[in-house]
Amino acid sequence: MTIFEALQHAMARLPGESPKLDAEVLLGFVLGQSRTYLYTWPERELTASQQSQLNELVMQRAQGVPVAYLVGKREFWSLPLQVNEHTLIPRPETELLVEQALERLPQAGRVLDLGTGTGAIALALASERPDAEVWAVDASQEALQVARANTDQLELSVRLIHSDWFAELGGQQFHLIVSNPPYIAEADPHLEQGDVRFEPLSALASGADGLADIRRIIGQAPGHLHPGGWLLFEHGYDQGNAVRELLRGAGFSAVETVQDYGGRDRVTLGQWGTHG
């Protein structure tokens, strides 16, 4: 079977919104080649073992397994990141949180990423700001292993800590705390759909209204923020109002919600105390 035929064959068996892209990524992965290669050498023959590996991957994808888990990687902020079934697959929307954090991080500032997963946010910040001191925590040891592998691979500096939010951070204080925490309501039917079905529930669901972790973090963050420091969250499109109220209620000022490129509420932030 040639590369051209393998692509056609895979596409025909793949469901979902992007069968062409999925087929290209999976075949590229099997051949260890870029997508461009597939169209430069369409007449090249696959070996029997490449064909059977592709068949196996296409079958798993047809059962819904996310492409990122099948190939073990996903790009975020132009950084190639390892992912596995213990980590959330980093989403492009989360780049908005990185942009907002970069705007507020002072020179040589200390920043904490709560619930780092693959390390996506912490590594994006470390890559942009080598002057910053970047810390990241996660409650999942397996996710931390992935974050550590990504940190080493990218040769960036992030201090990784196994912790239930701030529990293991002692009296550490930061200029900026950033988090894409679990924020989906436990009974939300989206948890049973698409790629999300295969992602760890502990990375996604947060109490009856999806706000349990955001509440806990807001309750504890003031003890870990320098005066004038910022707390920034990613959250669901319908949670902006609730998160603003929670931040104001806890005494944060300059509270605002930023929308993503689709015009949906996505990031809410606030400032603790005053510069001093």
Ligand X SMILES: C[S@@+](CC[C@H](N)C(=O)[O-])C[C@H]1O[C@@H](n2cnc3c(N)ncnc32)[C@H](O)[C@@H]1O
Chain contacts with ligand X (rule: CB under 6 A): 88, 90, 94, 115-118, 120-121, 137-140, 143, 164-165, 180-182, 202-203, 213
Rounded to a whole number of angstroms, the minimum distance from the CB of residue 229 to ligand X is 19
Is residue 129 a contact partner of residue 77, using CB atoms and an 8 Å limit?
A: no
Rounded to a whole number of angstroms, the minimum distance from the CB of residue 137 to ligand X is 5
Rounded to a whole number of angstroms, the minimum distance from the CB of residue 27 to ligand X is 26
Q: Which is nearer to ligand X, 109 or 181 (CB)?
A: 181
Q: Which is nearer to ligand X, 30 or 88 (CB)?
A: 88
DSSP per position, 173-231: -EEEEEE----B-TT-GGGGSGGGGGS-GGGTB-TTTS-HHHHHHHHHGGGGEEEEEEE
Q: Which is nearer to ligand X, 121 or 211 (CB)?
A: 121
Q: Which is nearer to ligand X, 7 or 182 (CB)?
A: 182
Give the type of residue at 98.
V
Rounded to a whole number of angstroms, the minimum distance from the CB of residue 135 to ligand X is 12
Q: What three-state secondary structure class fits 118?
A: coil
Q: Which is nearer to ligand X, 24 or 213 (CB)?
A: 213
Strand partners, 112: 135, 177
Rounded to a whole number of angstroms, the minimum distance from the CB of residue 180 to ligand X is 4
Rounded to a whole number of angstroms, the minimum distance from the CB of residue 118 to ligand X is 6
- b/e per residue 227-265 (b: at least 16 CB within 10 A): ebbbbbbbbbeebbebbbebbeebebeebebbebeeeeb
- Sign for the pseudo-dihedral over CA of 181, 106, 81, 148: negative
Q: Which residue is nearest to ligand X (CB)?
A: 115
Which residue from 126, 96, 89 is spatially nearest to 111, judged by alpha carbons? 126
Q: Which is nearer to ligand X, 44 or 148 (CB)?
A: 148
